[in-house]
Amino acid sequence: MSLRSPRFALTALVSVLGINSAWADEVQVAVAANFTAPIQAIAKDFEKDTGHTLVAAYGATGQFYAQIKNGAPFEVFLAADDTTPAKLESEGDSVKGSRFTYAIGTLALWSAKPGYVDAKGEVLKKNQFQHLAIANPKAAPYGLAATQVLNKLKLTEATQAKLVEGQNITQAYQFVSTGNAELGFVALSQIYKDGKVSEGSAWIVPANLHEPIKQDALILNKGKDSAAAKALVDYLKGPKAAAVIKSYGYER
C-alpha cells in the first residue's frame, strides 16, 4: 500500500491525535431524563479525552427498564433511581459488579414566573394554583418523590385534581416552562447551574420529605465486551465528571 494513500493518511492522523482507531468506539447509553444536561456536558470531555463517542437516549427510568427487557441495544444505563438497576442486576441483565451510584438527585418545586414560588414552598400549602405538574410516579423516580412530598405535607387529596402528569421529568418541566402549569416538581438539575437557580423561582425540597433519589448506573450485558462502555463508567467516577455533576445541583 502506498504511503500516500488516504487510508494511511487517516491512520497517521488518528495516531497523531493519540487515538487508537481499533480502540475508539461508540457507546449506546440510556439516560434518565433529569440527567440530560449534565451528560451532554460530560460527553464533550469524554469524547475529547478518550476518543469514544457517547450516543444517548433520554427518557423515564421505568420505560427504559421495559425497553432493556425487550432487547433495546443499550450498553450502559444511567437510571434516576437505584432500585431499577438493582432489579436488572438481580435478573442477570448486567455485568456483575458494574453498578454504582453516580449522583444523588434533588427535587425542586419550580415556576417559570420569578417570585411565584417562595423559598419555603408555602405556595404549595396555599393551594391557589390551577395546575401542578409532576412526572409519572410509576415510571419516573422524581415523580414518585413528588407524591411522597405531597403525602408528607398532607396535600395529596387537596392537589389531586390539579395534577398534570408528564411521561417523564422533561415533560413535567415543559408543562411549567410553557405556562400550562403554574408550578411543578422538577429535578433541580433542570433549573440549576453554577450554584444557583437559573430561571424563574423555586423551592429546593428538603431531602427529609421524600426517599433519597440515589441514581445508579451499570453496564448492561450488551456492553460487556465494549471498551467504550467501560471507559464511560470509569469516566463518570472521575474528577471531571464529578465537577460537572456537582455544578448541576447533584450530590455524589
Instruction: Output the tens digit of pLDDT for each of the chain's 252 residues.
Output: 443 433 333 333 333 344 444 467 999 999 999 999 999 999 999 999 999 999 999 999 999 999 999 999 999 999 999 999 999 999 999 999 999 999 999 999 999 999 999 999 999 999 999 999 999 999 999 999 999 999 999 999 999 999 999 999 999 999 999 999 999 999 999 999 778 898 999 999 999 999 999 999 999 999 999 999 999 999 999 999 999 999 999 988
Q: Which helix (H) or strand (E) holds 55?
A: strand 53-59
Q: Does the 107-204 domain belong in CATH 3.40.50.720? A: no
Residue with cell 421495559: 66
Asked whether the beta carbons of 176 and 70 are under 8 A apart, the reply is no
pLDDT score recorded for residue 11? 34
pLDDT score recorded for residue 18? 41
Closest CA to 82 of 219, 229, 233, 213: 213
Cell readout for 86 is 438493582
Pairing of strands 196-197, 192-193: antiparallel
Pairing of strands 53-59, 107-111: unpaired
Cell readout for 176 is 411549567
The Cα–Cα gap between 230 and 81 comes to 21
The Cα–Cα gap between 52 and 251 comes to 26
Which overall architecture, per CATH, does domain 6-104+213-247 show?
Answer: 3-Layer(aba) Sandwich (3.40)
3-state SS class at 188 = helix
Asked whether the beta carbons of 57 and 74 are under 8 A apart, the reply is yes
Tell me whether domains 6-104+213-247 and 107-204 share a fold: yes
Whether pTM exceeds 0.85: no
3-state SS class at 51 = coil
Give backbone dihedrals phi and psi of 157, rounded to 5 degrees, phi first.
Answer: -65, -40
Residue ranges per domain, the chain?
6-104+213-247, 107-204
